[in-house]
């Protein structure tokens, strides 16, 4: 593995020792942009530490066992496979590697109780940005460095930035190292390395692509498919909020225009969305031609203050629409509208398909974002729909996205219904 100059400088500092042989730093945060061989370096450090100790132990932890084993663990096994001398003396058993000096390296699951009392020489935490759950936080506590190995053991965190206010463990380390620590001069101008001497903490927090394979063409491609805040987080190692405006309103406004006339028997898809406690009901209908989606119908029902929503006129409208258009599917929120869909199906109004508000919605909401950004959706400037799009924020997690209200008082049901309808239009390849 060929390291870049900044890798070498940071690695030398992170593993630097005092004259008595103890590590200068007990905790190392290796924060770098995506695809900068963070996991490879952590795997190399695990093998180096494991082979350098008799009766030693190295533990690899991620946000789940699969994450620990498929990243750092995978690169360790690959190194053993490619190195005949190491392969001959090591034994790989599931998530554990036994070394010839009675040391072992193991990827473990998030199990704070089971891992209490760890006596590891090196503990690697992979992608700490994703440690949001209470069990993950307790795991960090239980996997603390043993006092009998003070100065001779290390925590090693490999990650990129997380979400402000949510990635608490990583944000605390970032604050201690970057904000409260001192800037280190390692001989390379602009290299972002920091030390907090009191905490025995070293942080490399690189925010620029420095590897030869990180080309402008690659980043142009990534910018085209990732939400802006996710691009900043993974490719520029910047802290972001998990919730921000769904789309710039100028994008949506640029998608407004006169729709082509609806052809006779043109396939149409409707989506139904009802808010919690029936505070709003939305229906959106779309057609598709080629790669473009056309918003043909959008209407919301909101009950009067203090009153419950009357579903009778809504159900009557659905029956009317079913007669007027060639509706090939009604997508609906099964949790809120199961009884209505069952009743309308029984009366042969149409085909009603439940639309998951978890997995399916994440795909659909990202699909709607892409359609708007690429101007592949055309809408008739419906004021209600415009408001619901304007009211929508988005929670993002890597490539996933989910529409949420900017405020509890605002409505986004038409935006959600449009997301469902457009997604089904793409999935069914109508038009």
Contacts of 93 (CB under 8 A, 6+ apart): none
Among 10-19, 225-234, 326-335, the minimum mean pLDDT is found in 225-234
- Identify the bridge partners of residue 397 per DSSP, sorted by sequence position: 400
CA-CA distance, 38 to 282, in Å (whole number)? 46
- Above pLDDT 90, what percent of the chain? 70
Highest-confidence range of 224-233, 357-366, 369-378, 392-401, by mean pLDDT?
Answer: 369-378
H or E element: which one contains 249?
A: helix 249-254
d(CA 380, CA 279): 25
CATH topology of domain 249-428: Nucleotidyltransferase; domain 5 (3.30.420)
Element (H, E) at 274: strand 267-274
Which two three-digit tokens encode residue 63? 């946000």
Q: Residue 20: pLDDT above 80?
A: yes
Say yes or no: domain 5-205 is CATH 3.40.50.2000. no
Can you tell me the mean pLDDT for 10-15?
A: 98
| pLDDT the model gives residue 278 | 54
d(CA 404, CA 246): 8
Checking DSSP bridges between strand 104-108 and strand 57-61, what pairing results, if any?
parallel
Residue-range domain boundaries for the chain? 5-205, 249-428
Indicate the helix (H) or strand (E) that contains 155. Answer: strand 154-159
pLDDT at 62: 80
- Token code pair at residue 313: 């006129």
Sign of the Cα torsion 32, 36, 39, 42 reads negative
pLDDT level of residue 377 (50, 70, 90 thresholds): very high
Q: Over range 304-327, report the average pLDDT.
A: 91
User: Could you please report the per-residue DSSP string of 136-149?
Assistant: HHHHHHHTPPPGGG
Q: What is the pLDDT at residue 1?
A: 84
Q: How does pLDDT run across 236-248, given as a tens digit for each residue?
A: 999 987 778 898 8
Edge-to-edge strand list for the sheet holding 193-196: 91-93, 96-98, 104-108, 57-61, 122-126, 154-159, 27-31, 201-205, 193-196, 182-183
pLDDT for 116 equals: 52
């Amino acid at each position: 593995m060929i390291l870049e100059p900044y890798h070498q400088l940071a690695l030398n500092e992170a593993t630097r020792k005092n004259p008595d042989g103890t590590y200068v730093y007990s905790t190392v945060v290796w924060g770098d942009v995506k695809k900068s061989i963070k996991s490879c370096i952590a795997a190399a450090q695990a093998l180096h530490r494991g082979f350098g100790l008799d009766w030693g132990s190295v533990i690899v932890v991620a946000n789940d066992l699969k994450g620990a084993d498929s990243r750092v663990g995978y690169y360790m096994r690959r190194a053993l496979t490619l190195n005949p001398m190491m392969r001959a003396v090591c034994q790989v058993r599931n998530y554990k590697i036994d070394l010839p000096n009675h040391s072992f390296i193991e990827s473990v699951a998030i199990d704070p109780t089971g891992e209490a009392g760890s006596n590891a020489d090196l503990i690697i935490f992979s992608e700490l940005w994703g440690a949001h759950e209470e069990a993950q936080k307790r795991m960090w506590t239980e996997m603390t460095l043993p006092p009998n190995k003070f100065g001779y053991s290390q925590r090693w965190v490999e990650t990129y930035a997380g979400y402000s206010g949510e990635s608490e463990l990583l944000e605390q380390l970032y604050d201690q190292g970057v904000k409260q620590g001192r800037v280190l001069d390692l001989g390379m101008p602009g290299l972002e390395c920091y030390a907090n001497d009191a905490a025995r903490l070293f942080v490399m927090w690189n925010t620029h692509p420095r590897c030869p394979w990180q080309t402008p063409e690659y980043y142009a491609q990534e910018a085209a498919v990732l939400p802006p805040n996710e691009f900043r987080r993974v490719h520029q190692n910047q802290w972001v909020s998990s919730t921000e405006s769904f789309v710039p309103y100028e994008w949506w406004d640029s998608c407004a225009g006169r729709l082509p006339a609806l052809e006779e028997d043109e396939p149409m898809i409707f989506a139904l969305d009802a808010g919690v406690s029936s505070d709003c009901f939305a229906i959106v209908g779309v057609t598709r031609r080629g790669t473009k989606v056309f918003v043909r119908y959008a209407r919301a029902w909101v009950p009067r203050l203090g009153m419950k929503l009357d579903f009778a006129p809504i159900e009557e409208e659905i029956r009317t629409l079913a007669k007027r258009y060639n509706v090939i599917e009604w997508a609906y929120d099964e949790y809120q509208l199961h009884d209505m869909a069952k009743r309308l199906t029984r009366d042969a109004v149409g085909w009603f398909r439940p639309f998951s508000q978890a997995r399916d919605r994440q795909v659909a909401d990202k699909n709607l974002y892409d359609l708007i950004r690429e101007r592949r959706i055309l809408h008739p400037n419906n004021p209600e729909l415009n408001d619901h799009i304007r009211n929508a924020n988005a929670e993002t997690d890597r490539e996933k996205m989910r529409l949420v209200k900017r405020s509890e008082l605002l409505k986004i049901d038409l935006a959600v219904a449009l997301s469902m309808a457009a997604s089904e239009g793409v999935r069914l390849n109508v038009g």
